[in-house]
Structure 1
Amino acid sequence: MRPIPARRANVYTGSPLDRAGKRRDDAEWIAAALASEEALFVPVWRARSLMKGVEEGRPEAVLLTREAAEAVRMAGGPWAFLGLWAGRPVFAVDCSAADDPLPLLPPGMGGFTDLRAVAGLLPEGEASVLAHARGLMHWRVKHRFCGVCGGVCEPRSAGHAMVCTGCGAQHFPRTDPAVIMLVVRGDSCLLGHSHRFPNVMMYSTLAGFVEPGESFEEAVRREVLEETGVRVGAVAYHSSQPWPFPASIMIGFHAEGLSEEIEIDPEELRDARWFTRAQIRDHAAHGFHLPRADSIARRLIEDWLAA
């Protein structure tokens, strides 16, 4: 099958940051950046991001100055250097140890919100920065101990590495690759309803994690066959999307369906069906919902419709 081009960038991509990786091991530079009046801090509280304007439908990220960030940094959570934004150093700081960090901040700072609920409404680049901070802080919070010997780990490289104080093993942030695919046959596409979906009416593309020793294309064919019994032929790359919820990257594909009969895996799916283009375009009238607008799943569907 011919690749269907992505018509626009996925949400959480297009970061405005220069990650400045060579600066991470320059302890003096990092210390000066932390103390700089130009420094900006991206707070993360229990996987939520600080924003204002959410209730008005005009959300925007709230980044803290060094002075404002001091209060939440004193909560003792991890921090990390994210990069440079228009020359200004940007750090993530986790303040989850505080029961409520808002009283520690100056008034008018908004509130902590689930990024996924508003990502598609944020100004350009902001969703990417907030997702970057969320993903890195999740790794820091969850990897305080060595997976080799169980010893306590200490941060290095401005928060981008952890070193075991016992055996000396080095640990780095991980991203779990997952394939996500819209299977197409003729004028129809294959969508499934997962047990995990909070929206009981939503049908979405199939997806699954890549296994060791497996190519992306092989993972697409295996996951579709395992979940629905549908055989897949050609697989064409579409785009990718960071998905730090908590630590994945979604690699998107369109795939050619070679068979029609569906036999679902009941442990993975409640239902799976073939939907025509006409049904997708008027999905509400046909009694089902599409995935959220910020997801690569929605982009795969919309770009197929446009093609």
Structure 2
Amino acid sequence: MIAHAYGTATVTLILASRPNVYSSSPLDRIAARREDPDWIAAQLADPETLFVPVWRTRNLVRTSREGDPEAVYVSGAVAATLRMQDAPHGAPWAFLGIQDGRAVFAIDISATDDPAPLLPEEFGRFVDLRSVGWGVPRPEASVLAHARGLLHWRQRHRFCGVCGNPCEVKSAGHVMRCTVCDMQHFPRTDPAVIMLVHRGDRGLLGHSTRFPRATMYSTLAGFVEPGETLEEAVRREVLEESGIQIGAVHYHSSQPWPFPGNIMLGFYAEALTEDITIDPEELKDARWFTRHEMRDHKQHGFDLPRADSIARRLIEDWLAAG
């Protein structure tokens, strides 16, 4: 924590206590190599190369002997089979980077109806990455998120957004170039702010009808609009969703959130008012919770967001500071 002056008041900054789950990538992306087709072809053919399979936005994960989730990469030999399965021109792939001297590629095997028979049983199964419950920063979790996000973008940018004609893959999967107007389309990441609003010993949490659990309460969040600073986005979203006026805004941390293609920018926002007026289009409920209630949330009848989310990190670090 760091204390500093804001106007006439002294406020305390809460620093991130550790990296976020999907923000510890071990990859060297070496972007310059994407433009070298001979080098890329050599890596694709190298038996030491690793492939990260993605099936219909799901990642390959297995459970270790200790009961922890772990990512599964496949070898070049296995990937060669996957690449041609139900895909006459080969499954879409994209170069992710270098890890420990070995090239790593993402490969999309969504063309097959059932991937289970293609892989040995010990390889695990394809699951929604958010359901894994990593809990702590894991380098391989970041790689799986990277693969999921990049291939999701590829799948949805097969046609030019300017003229509507087909695009071709360039830059080892990182550019889609229109075959008619020559427009280049790059991977898209939409920035979203997510903030824990606090006032004294209480924090503001809301419940959305979109949440997977009826008892879950989480921090407020929203997309950054064109021409808007991050701080302005925090203040606007909080006011729109809850009617709360915001003063000081402090950055906490960020993490990729490829569900489908966002980066979450975490903040703490100091409330100037307390009366809540929710936007029913965004929230079903919003309440002030004390630190005590959040620490014992099960006893008070509500759940906190998943351990891999930046929302949970904002809450945990705020609780630890008080």
TM-score (norm 1): 0.97
Give deviations 1:209-235, integer Å, cap 9, x for gaps: 000000000000000000000000000
Match 1:248 to one of 255, 262, 282: 262
Give how far 1:55 is off: 10
Aligned mate of 1:41, from 51, 55, 61? 51
**Cα distance change, pair 211–123 in 1 and its aligned pair in 2 (3 A):** closer
Q: 1:121 Cα deviation (Å)?
A: 5.4
Aligned to 2:13: 3
The aligned amino acid for 1:172 is: F
Is the contact made by 1:71 and 1:105 (CA closer than 8 Å) also made in structure 2? no
8 Å CA contact retained: 1:233, 1:256: yes
CA distance in 2: counterparts of 1:200 and 1:55, whole angstroms: 33
132, 147, 158: which one aligns with 1:144: 158
Amino acid of the structure 2 residue aligned with 1:30: I
How far the C-alpha of 1:103 sits from its partner, in A, is: 1.4
CA distance in 1, matches of 2:295, 2:120: 46
The question of whether the paired residues in 2 share the 8 Å contact of 1:59 and 1:121 is answered with no
Helix, strand or coil for the counterpart of 1:135? helix
Q: Distance in 1 between matches of 2:125 and 2:136?
A: 15
> Post-superposition shift, 1:164?
0.3
Give the CA deviation at 1:59.
1.8
Partner of 2:319: 305
Q: Identity rate of aligned residues, in percent?
A: 68
Q: Partner letter of residue 77 of structure 1?
A: A
Which of 203, 213, 217 lines up with 1:199 in the alignment?
Answer: 213
Q: Secondary structure at the match of 1:221?
A: helix
Question: Would the aligned equivalents of 2:21 and 2:136 in 1 still touch at CA under 8 Å?
Answer: no
- What amino acid is the match of 2:41? A
Bigger mean CA deviation after superposition, 13-22 or 107-116: 107-116
Name the amino acid aligned to 2:105: F
Equivalences for residues 247-286 of structure 1 within 5 A: 247-286=261-300
Q: Distance in 2 between matches of 1:167 and 1:78?
A: 23
Letter in 2 for 1:199: R
Please give the alpha-carbon distance, in whole angstroms, between the structure 2 residues aligned to 1:216 and 1:263. 23
Provide the alpha-carbon RMSD of the alignment: 1.4
- Report the residue type matching 2:109 in the other structure: C
DSSP 3-state at the match of 2:152: helix
Please show how residues 179-218 of structure 1 align to structure 2 within 5 Å.
179-218=193-232
**Within the alignment, does 1:228 sit opposite 2:242 as a pair?**
yes
TM-fit CA distance, 1:37:
1.2
- Name the SS of the counterpart of 1:283 in structure 2: coil
Distance (whole Å) between structure 1 residues aligned to residue 82 and residue 101 of structure 2: 24
**Contact 1:37 / 1:66 at 8 angstroms: preserved in 2?**
yes
Letter in 2 for 1:126: E
**Alignment CA distance shift 1:170-1:297 (3 Å):** same
Map residues 49-68 of structure 1 onto 2, 5 A cutoff: 49-53=59-63, 57-68=67-78
Mark the runs of 5 or more structure 1 residues left unpaired by the alignment.
Answer: none
> How many Å separate the matches in 2 of 1:40 and 1:230?
49
Deviation (angstroms), 1:198: 1.3
Is the 2:196–2:314 contact (alpha carbons within 8 Å) kept by the matching residues of 1? yes
1:47 counterpart letter in structure 2? T
Show the 5 A alignment for 1:21-36. Answer: 21-36=31-46
Aligned length: 307
Q: CA 1:107–1:293 in structure 2 vs 1: closer, same or farther (change >3 Å)?
A: closer
Give the secondary-structure state (helix, strand or coil) at the position aligned to 1:2: strand
Is contact 1:78–1:93 with CA below 8 Å preserved after alignment? yes
Q: Is the 8 A contact 1:183 1:257 kept in 2?
A: yes
Q: How far is the alpha carbon of 1:2 from its aligned partner? A: 2.9
Q: Which residue of 1 aligns with 2:167?
A: 153
- Post-superposition shift, 1:163? 0.3
Query: Are the equivalent residues in 1 in contact too, given 2:22–2:255 (CA < 8 A)?
Result: yes
The separation in 1 between residues aligned to 2:41 and 2:299, in whole angstroms, is 58
Structure 2: runs of 5+ lacking an equivalent: 1-10
Letter in 2 for 1:44: V
TM-aligned CA deviation for residue 25 of structure 1: 0.2
Alpha carbons of structure 1 residues 152 and 93: separation in structure 2 relative to 1, 3 Å? same
- Matched residue SS, 1:199: coil
SS of the residue corresponding to residue 13 of structure 2 reads coil
**Alignment-mate amino acid for residue 224 of structure 1:** V
